[in-house]
Structure formats: C-alpha cells, structure tokens
Amino acid sequence: MAFVLKIDRVDEWWTRLEDFRVSEKVGFLVENSLDLLPEYLLPWEQLGKKAAKLMDAGELKDQVEKLPCLDYTHLRSYEEYCLAHSLLSTIAHCYVWQDRDKGVVPEVLPRAVAVPWYHVSQYLGLNPVYCYLACMLANWKKESEDSCDIELICGAPGTPHTDWFFIVSIQIEIDFGKGIKDIIKTYQALTTGDDNGLIEGLQGIADTIKRMQQTLSRMHEKQDPWPFYNKLRPFFEGWGAQSKFLPEGLIYEGVSDSPLQYLGGSAAQSSTIQTFDAILGVKHTAEAVPYLRKIREYMPAGHREFLNAIENGPSLRNHVRLSRDDGVRKAYNKCIQALTEFRSYHFTVTVKYVLLQSYKKNGKSSNNTDAQGAGGTYLVSFLKSTRDQTARCILGDRETGQMKWQADDMDLEGLKMKESSSLLHPGTNLIVKSKSDQEIFKEDH
C-alpha cells in the first residue's frame, strides 16, 4: 500500500495543505511525530534508538544479524511509517558504515532490515536510504507545543557532538512552518486581486526566510566542524557511482539480487527552499536542475506533489510583473533579496563545515571527491549558481526598467554577497571567485 494523494484538482493547492502532508503549524515536519512503535515492532525501536552508540562501539552489526524478520504491515498510521523509516534508516546506515575506517563495508544488507525498509519507504514515496525525513522531519519531539527544547528521537554517530546540526535544521523547518499562513494569504490575495493582502503575505514570506537564516547562523554556536565532517557526513553517504566504497550500489537481501544505488542524505532535501523557488518563480541553470529535480525523489511523496502543484498553479511572478502597484513589486523583490541572502549565507556555512575540513583532511587534491557535496554536485559552482539565479529574479522598476535592491534593507548592499565573511579562510577567496571546483583544483596544481 503506497501513500496516495487524495487530491484530484490542484488549482487551489493552498486550500488543501493537509492532503500534501504539509502542516499549517510545523510545515514539512511530521506534526504529531511519534517515538513509540506498536509493541510487535519493539525490536526496531530498541535497536534504532541505540544504533549510533552500538556502531561507535563496533557492536551494531552483530545485533542486526540477530534481528528477527518482522512484518511491517503492523504499522497503523502515516506517523508510525515515518518513525519506522527513521529507525530502519539509522539501523541500516550504522550497519553499512560501522567498519568503514577499517575499509570493511558489507555489500549486502540483511533481509530483516532490507525488506521492511524497502516497503516502508515505498509507502512514503521515498527511496530506502537515510534521507531528510529520517533524520529531521520525523526525528523530533518537544515536551510541549510552547517548549523551545527540541529532542531527537534517534541520535546519529557522533551524538551528542553532532546533535546541534539536527536541532538547528529542525528549528529552520519550524521557522518555515510559522510562515505557512503568509503563503496562504499571498495566494488568496493573488486570486482575489487584493494587492494589500498580497503585499502583507509577501512581507511575511520575506520575514520567514530571514528568520530561517537567523536560525542557520546559530549553527556556529554549538556545532563543531570536526564531528560534523568526520562522523556525520560519512554516515549520511549513500551508495552508487559517487561512492568510494560501494560504487556498484548495495544489495537489499530479499528485495533485489542486483545492487541498488541511492544518493545520501543532505539538508538539500529540505522542501523549504524549493518551495520558495516555486512560489517566486526562480529558475535554475541547466547544470543545477538535474540535481535539484533528483533530490525530490528523496522527499516524501506529498511534499514532492506539493512542489509540483505550486509550479503548475497560478504564477505569482507573472502577476507581479504585470502589476501596476509598485508596492507589490517591492514586496516581491524583498523575498528575492531574502532568499539570495539565505543562499549566500548558507554558502559560507558550507565552506566552513565542508570545504575547509576537506582541505584539512585531504589537502587541495584534484581527486578530492569530498568537495563535491553529498550528491556529487560540484559544490562551489553549484551553490553559487543557485544563489546567482535567485538574485537574477529581481524585477526592475516599471518606469525605468532599472533593477535595484530595496533601499531600506541596509544589510544587503547591491549584489555584493558576504563572501568576505570572517567565516571564510583567507585561502578560500580563490574558491569563491572561481568558475568551477575542478578549475580551482587544476589552478592549484
């Protein structure tokens, strides 16, 4: 049984959010996430919750070998499927990567994990691999609705030194959720021709993106780059052509006799930023689009359909272009500015947590695949291109045709991004200014 959308008409998608599994309170997060499975499936729950610690102690593989083959149809609700996905994904990745440092990586995933993981993933419309739903969307709980403390259900390797990455990412999803009402307001106003409502909605969207960036900046408070890069990132890795250890893929025993290939987990699989792209009509380059499309296969089916529905619904950008109201254009441009700035800031975070760590560990070698990003993207050129394509969406003045940033946003100075941020190592200027990673590496040698 797979997750089936109840929706047949998507013209007014903003009136049907729950059909897409989008919550008006917490956005793409699983609203009533669970941390308990039905008693019959207790072995998954017990092993999943301690898998990271067992992996660190080198004891997880033995436990997996002893795991009974359980029937996934005992799962009763969407929320239980999400929790099961999170637990089985954690168990599977800990199993595959436990002895990676010794160069020992299994080519076959045992049936007791492979079969239910595959079916649970099918139900959710996901690939059976550790993805953003497993680590973030379904992996959180709060004491109460008002509580600020986010707890993780399933810790990952490096816990507690890597937990902050999850907490910040989940908080960014919560920030997005708080802005859902403005997205609804924007589209209601768009379809009723209410320009004042449209300006208010767009202002709310811009504020949401700024709030998300503010939260992203908190990554530096408690997330040390070393455990992020050396413990978490290897654990996120998938299998297939981009993999050093499993280039052929992984055999899922009881599912397929030939190896299956999947990308690893990445916060790029968050639907939040692609939602803003779809709403604002941001178009990416021919080089970036295949990856951005591909990672939709790693989003739950409802969220993927949600992005399709926005893209096939009324065009906000066309409406703004034709609008005679300068306030509408200004409000739209503020959203573009905020999204450009988010991407610009995210880029500096990536330099600190990935590129510089990679250089420390491997040197600036041209074979440095770590600098490619989790999905094998050429990290620098890719992230620069998504940012630059966003910046290009600024709409010019109707009268003069001139493009300009809003004067009241003093933190954004023209198209100059904060590339000189103190987060950047002096040597990274070269990286930032270059056209592609490969060119940088060639120049360096």
Closer residue to ligand HEM, CB minimum distance, 55 or 273: 273
Among 22, 91, 216, 251, binds ligand HEM (CB under 6 A): 216
Stretch that binds ligand HEM, among 155-163, 165-173, 190-198, 325-333 (CB under 6 A): 165-173
Closest to 339 measured CA to CA, from 429, 431, 403, 405: 405
Residue ranges in 384-403 that form contacts with ligand HEM under rule CB under 6 A: 386
Is 219 an interacting residue with respect to ligand HEM (CB under 6 A)? yes
Q: Directed axis angle between helix 326-350 and helix 379-391, to 10°?
A: 170
Is 213 an interacting residue with respect to ligand HEM (CB under 6 A)? no
* Cα→Cα distances 276→12, 176, 209, 336, Å: 17, 10, 9, 9
Among 270, 333, 344, 428, binds ligand HEM (CB under 6 A): 270
Collapsing DSSP to helix, strand or coil, 179 comes out as coil
- Per-position DSSP letters for 291-328, written without gaps between them: HHHHGGGGS-HHHHHHHHHHHHS--HHHHHHH---HHH
Instruction: Please report how close the Cβ of residue 172 comes to ligand HEM at its closest, in angstroms.
Output: 5
Question: Element (H or E) spanning 252, and its range?
Answer: strand 251-252
Instruction: Please report how close the Cβ of residue 350 comes to ligand HEM at its closest, in angstroms.
Output: 4
Handedness of CA 245, 248, 251, 252 (dihedral sign): positive
Instruction: Please report how close the Cβ of residue 354 comes to ligand HEM at its closest, in angstroms.
Output: 5
Among 126, 189, 279, 354, binds ligand HEM (CB under 6 A): 354
Is 169 an interacting residue with respect to ligand HEM (CB under 6 A)? yes
How far is it, in rounded angstroms, from Cα 405 to Cα 388?
A: 14
Q: Produce one character per residue of 87-112: b if its CB has 16 or more CB atoms within 10 Å, e if not.
A: bbbbbbbbbbbbeeeeeebbeebbeb
Instruction: Please report how close the Cβ of residue 157 comes to ligand HEM at its closest, in angstroms.
Output: 15
Instruction: Please report how close the Cβ of residue 79 comes to ligand HEM at its closest, in angstroms.
Output: 23
Closer residue to ligand HEM, CB minimum distance, 120 or 219: 219
Residue 160 tokens read as: 């507690």
Contacts with ligand HEM by CB under 6 A lie at: 165, 169, 172, 216, 219, 228, 266-268, 270, 272-273, 343, 346, 349-350, 353-354, 373-375, 377, 379, 382-383, 386
**Which residues are known binding-site members for heme b?**
346
